[in-house]
A and B are shown apart, each in its own frame.
Chain A
Amino acid sequence: MGRPKAWLEWHGSTLLYRAAAVVGRAVDGPVVVVAAPGQELPPLPSGVTVVEDPVEGLGPMQGLAVGLAAVADRAEVAFVCSTDLPFLHPAFVRRVLRAMDGGADVALPVARGFRQPLAAGYRTALAGLVTELLAAGDLRPGMLFKHCEAVQLNDGELLADSGLARHDPELESVVNVNSPEDYAAARERPPAEVTVECFGALARNGSHRPRTVPAATLGAAAAAAGLTLDRHVVAALNGDQVTRDGALPLVAGDTVSFLSADAGG
């Protein structure tokens, strides 16, 4: 790839920034990034913390153990994913985590013909078991699934979620980038179509009425609306988060509402 996947440029930020921000959009709890020993990371979204994996070379199971342990005191379940999922959609994350409501230890998507352990849900209490398996030399996620209750989610079960079916019908959330060609192809795809609306003093010539623009990030959506995210402008994403983070990734189905920063009395 020429450089670490975490640093690959993605519409003005990086693949890692996008992955962390999309997960953050989908969950209420903390978001942590597990870094290899001494690994330098690109800037991360506000609120995302980094934990360092003390052991190098043990693969994703080691990162899983460290990540689950890092959030075990604040969350019962966690969505775990790799950096290189440029089309990960928050609806996918929510769908996977919802599969754990019944008490399963793991929600494992089997999407686009493959098991997806690095786009899956895990109960954080599994951290100890994963560590034990690593100590026993079991480095493959498949070994973990033999020791706990894992619920598999095939394409049909995943797409039973109407939001996911509408916004990611091909389950591209699990498409990863393993070669320069994969990356180039992903980068050439047009950004998602999102809805923008402007309110108050930002609304001119009827621009408070919703309209659709292609935009991979909040900053791009602002530019499409003729705005700059300065001290006078904020945005609400799907009526929820209020933010000025221009690098915030947008996905298909998003609605961005631009408000005057002095909204209120």
Chain B
Amino acid sequence: MAPGGFFGQALLVDVAGRDASGAPIALDEPVLRSYLGGVGLGTWLLHRLAPPGVDPLAPEAPLAFVFSSLVGTPLTTSAKFAVVAKSPLTGLLTDALASSRFAIAGKLTGHDAIVIRGRADELSVLLIDGGDVRLEPAPELAGLTAAQAETAARERFGRNWRSAAIGPAGERQVRYATISHDGRHAGRGGLGAVMGAKNIKAVLVRAAAKVSVADPAGVLAAARDLRERSFGPATAKYRELGTLANLLAFNAVSTLPTRNFTAATFEGAPRLAAEELHELRGVARNSCASCSIGCEHIYSRKGGGQQRMEYENVFALGPLCGVSDPDEVFAASARCDELGIDTISAGGTIAWAMECVERGLLDEPWLRFGDGSALIRALDAIGERSPGLGELLAQGSRRAAAVVGGSSIDFAPQVKGLELPGYEPRSLQAMALGLAVNARGADHNRSGAYEADLSGELDRLSGGAAHVAAAVGTEDRAAVMDSMILCKFLRGVFDDPFTEWAGLLALVTGWPVDAAELRETARRIVRAKRAFNQREGATAADDTLPARMLETPLELGSGRRAALDEGRLRSMVAGYYAARGLDAEGRVAPADLAELLLDG
């Protein structure tokens, strides 16, 4: 019998030709307890099911939708799932989280994960109704946005299905295409391209099973308590202004990446600030399914329409590209949603191209920093993979730099091929380490080390041992939250996170889990990700930052310089390896692989 909250099985779906078949994979209790669900279990599944060295866009590459024991419980923010695959952008493990009713319906098909392999003959919709799996050709969905495709699919198949879909960029296998559902996105690493390569426009799931938890009354009481706490000051920022509140604050502390990381403050920041837009344009606030925080802030667009705005899309399509007109940033963000592409990678790649134009490395004189129309034109070219610039930029900045040559790789804003989020590494040096060593590449969700930089408890300009400890600590917390799965916006409400999380897991699963076990679980998940990347060819040389970050100091408004050289970064990376029990090259020792249960 499966532990509470779990079904004890995954569904392996093969799509081939015009058919689909499903087969269960047993998920034994030791595996579930070792990897929890979400990103952790997804990592384990990738180890098992992805052939070593597989092309991420090949039919045999697996695409995993992974749930967790908490999904479907009344615990706030738990309606989440992870999408895990080998990234076409990085060639390494990628995992993206998203929240929606897809998570609940997907789990209640009776599976803790759904893994898709193969390639349909033509653009199709995959329907999973309990253990029943079928493939339906859907050529009429070609070219539709994900939202349009979701609507059309539910009209065709019935409104009691929940769906995850790709936009036109996913169909065309843009390497940073997203998977979308209910207006939310599994955004990073190109998961939409993986789904597009399988010729699957949408996955539809329908609940067909029930799952029980170990202590229903206890879960209900914990849910009430957590919900109450979620209304407190620790989540006020998300509730009142959303993540866009970061923009003006980051500008004030010289950590707002601007014009492809050539500056850390942006003169146009006040125009894009949540504090201003909220007064002038704020129209609504929404929540994900089963969430009591409500971080989504919706703004009106000039000329009609509304747009959900977050810090990362505004940073990437605003300051990073030198664009300060909110309507142009809103429009660019909306275009990314329509095309189904990751705003961070899109903005980062275009900002890089703009700098290439400035330096005479690209002959596209219209593509200039600060030009919102050029930004939209570039996004369209990417979505279409139009010959020339569109095809080039659809590959992401690292591959594009390899084509353009010159010194362009030095200022390509990426780590392991994934474009940098809106955190300036030179003025946030714990975060610099987190960005450098993370398995997914430059990422702010799997390493929240910026918390330490902005805590006032260490000097954010002088990376050292304290920064290593902070990066390890935040990565551990992320590994558990991403696997349980709970939204990280809830993190501030926990006074003793590992103990409290262990308590929640015990109520749901019945496991006598404690904080020490969860800490070990976090370490296992992080090491398992590295082991996967190691298998796929990643080395210590990948745990670095773009040359620009290591060679060009930033001048801060205070007069101080923010400098991060190769020696300091390598020293921190070495400290990270030691803390993680890795060898000097950042590898998991062969003798340690057995304890990761990767063989079954």
Contacts and interface: CB of A to CB of B under 8 A. Distances in A.
Interface of A: 28, 94, 197, 199-201, 203, 206, 208, 232, 234-245, 257, 259-265
Contacts of B265: 239
A28 to B, nearest CB: 7
B252 A242 contact: no
A243 B457 CA distance: 7
B454 A94 contact: no
B419 to A, nearest CB: 15
Contacts of B556: 239-240
A215 to B, nearest CB: 17
Contacts of A241: 456, 459
Contact of A263 (B239, B249, B279): B249
A260 B559 contact: no
B454 A234 contact: yes
B448 A239 contact: no
B558 to A, nearest CB: 4
A197 B252 contact: yes
A197 B448 CA distance: 25
B405 interface: no
Contact of A200 (B237, B557, B559): B237
Contact of B560 (A208, A240, A242, A245): A240
A208 B444 contact: no
A199 B556 CA distance: 19
A240 B557 contact: yes
Contact of A201 (B237, B448, B455, B491): B237
B240 interface: yes
Interface in B241-260: 241, 243, 245-246, 248-250, 252-254
Q: What are the 4 tightest A-B residue pairs by CB atom distance, in nearest-first order?
A: A200-B245, A240-B558, A199-B249, A257-B252
B454 A264 contact: yes
B234 interface: yes
B73 interface: no
Given A238-B557, A263-B249, A264-B246, A200 B241 contact: yes
Contacts of A261: 454-455, 492
Interface of B: 233-234, 236-237, 239-241, 243, 245-246, 248-250, 252-254, 265, 273-275, 279, 311-312, 421, 423, 444-445, 448, 450-451, 453-456, 459-461, 488, 491-492, 556-560
A200 B453 contact: no
B253 A264 contact: no
B252 A236 contact: yes
A160 B264 CA distance: 29
Contacts of A203: 241, 275
B231 to A, nearest CB: 13
A246 B242 CA distance: 28
Given A242-B460, A259-B253, A263-B454, 19 more contacts: A203-B241, A232-B236, A234-B456, A238-B557, A241-B459, A242-B253, A243-B456, A259-B252, A262-B234, A263-B245, A263-B246, A264-B444, A264-B450, A264-B454, A265-B243, A265-B246, A265-B312, A265-B421, A265-B450
Nearest to B250: A263
A99 B558 CA distance: 19
B249 A260 contact: yes
A237 B421 CA distance: 24
A244 B250 CA distance: 17
A64 B147 CA distance: 72
A206 B280 CA distance: 12
Contact of A262 (B273, B423, B460, B492): B492
Contact of B455 (A238, A242, A245): A242
B249 A257 contact: yes
Contacts of B273: 208
B252 A239 contact: yes
Contacts of B275: 199-200, 203, 206, 208
Contacts of B559: 94
B479 to A, nearest CB: 15
A241 B461 CA distance: 9
29 contacts: A199-B248, A199-B275, A200-B246, A200-B249, A200-B274, A201-B233, A203-B275, A208-B248, A232-B233, A234-B455, A235-B456, A238-B558, A239-B252, A240-B557, A240-B558, A241-B456, A242-B253, A242-B453, A257-B249, A259-B249, A259-B454, A261-B492, A262-B234, A262-B491, A262-B492, A264-B246, A265-B246, A265-B312, A265-B488
A259 B460 CA distance: 15
B451 A257 contact: no
Contacts of B444: 264-265
B448 A244 contact: no
Contacts of B253: 236, 239-240, 242, 257, 259
A245 B455 CA distance: 11
A219 to B, nearest CB: 13
A40 B456 CA distance: 28
Nearest to B249: A199
Nearest to A265: B444
A245 B559 CA distance: 21
Nearest to A229: B456
Contacts of B558: 237-240
Contacts of B557: 238-240
Contact of B451 (A28, A199, A244, A264): A264
A219 B233 CA distance: 20
A261 B455 CA distance: 6
Contacts of A265: 243, 246, 311-312, 421, 444-445, 448, 450, 488
Contacts of A263: 237, 245-246, 249-250, 450, 454
A238 B456 CA distance: 14
A194 B484 CA distance: 46
A122 B240 CA distance: 51
